[in-house]
Amino acid sequence: DAGITQSPRYKITETGRQVTLMCHQTWSHSYMFWYRQDLGHGLRLIYYSAAADITDKGEVPDGYVVSRSKTENFPLTLESATRSQTSVYFCASRGEGITSGELFFGEGSRLTVL
Amino acid sequence: AQRVTQPEKLLSVFKGAPVELKCNYSYSGSPELFWYVQYSRQRLQLLLRHISRESIKGFTADLNKGETSFHLKKPFAQEEDSAMYYCALGMPDSWGKFQFGAGTQVVVTP
């Protein structure tokens, strides 16, 4: 399917475990982003990437790691999950050409850390 | 530092009534402003961008640089407008990042 997909859609894990959320886009957009969505805080940027092998921290990067070995994939890893990382995570890519400036979002990954 | 403020967490309006969602921003560069919407169980999607100056689903938004605002308006709310709305600031001179507001939940009751 064309577009941006996230997996898993739902995940329950325990404190201290490592979790990886996957993000895949079919457009070959250069810019990709990871946001977390929390009530009262809206969407906060965790990490972003301008291209393969180019990543940088956003507003709330602590406890997260990203990689981007291929343009189409941008996985987000929680190295040792904490309860404060219970959230809904959204991956997005930034449009180019006529859709320049528009963010395209995945469906979200709802993570619960027990 | 850049900032996006949506003062209302929840707006409850009756069908047919006007609705206005407030958004104020602070940014030293040349801003790009957007409204994104998230309907129940759907992904976030673009509703409006300031440069297009168009009306989508009856919504309009005007960028007021003097007041640093980008309020979203609709003269007659419909039940299908019930959703979460996010104002977003695009920062083209900052790696193309976006700053989002906290969001406003709109509930339209018949």
**A·B CB contacts under 8 A:** 53
Q: Which CA distances in Å does B19 have to B15, B51, B107, B108?
A: 10, 22, 10, 9
Residue B93 pLDDT > 90, yes or no?
no
Q: Which CA distances in Å does A32 have to A47, A74, A106, B26, B45?
A: 9, 7, 11, 24, 16
d(CA B16, CA B58): 12
| Alpha carbon B106 to its chain's center | 11
List CB contacts (< 8 A) between A40 and chain B.
Answer: 9, 102
Concatenated DSSP letters of A27-62: S--S-EEEEEEETTTEEEEEEEEEETTEEEE-SS-T
Residue A96 pLDDT > 90, yes or no?
no
User: In chain B, how many domains are there?
Assistant: 1
Q: Does B43 touch chain A (CB under 8 A)?
A: yes
Q: How close is the nearest chain A Cα to the Cα of B101, in Å?
A: 6
Nearest by CB: A56 against B9, B92, B95: B95
User: What's the burial of B69, exposed, middle or buried (CB within 10 Å: 0-12/13-18/19+)?
Assistant: middle
What is the per-residue pLDDT for B14?
A: 97
d(CA A57, CA B15): 43
CB contact under 8 A, B43 and A106: yes
The SS3 of residue A65 is strand
Q: How close is the nearest chain B Cα to the Cα of A14, in Å?
A: 25
Stretch (H or E) spanning A11: strand A10-13
Q: Which CA distances in Å does A80 have to A37, A72, B102, B109?
A: 19, 25, 27, 43
Q: Tell me the CATH number at B98.
A: 2.60.40.10
**What are the pLDDT digits (tens) for B29-83?**
888 899 999 999 889 999 998 877 777 889 999 888 889 999 999 999 999 999 9
The residue of chain A with its CA nearest to that of B36 is A103
What is the per-residue pLDDT for B52?
A: 76
Q: Does B98 touch chain A (CB under 8 A)?
A: yes
The overall average pLDDT reported for chain A is 93
Domain that residue B16 falls in: 3-109
Amino acid at B22: K
Q: What's the average model confidence in pLDDT over A88-112?
A: 91
What is the per-residue pLDDT for A47?
A: 96
Where do the domains of chain A lie, and which CATH numbers do they carry? 4-113 (2.60.40.10)
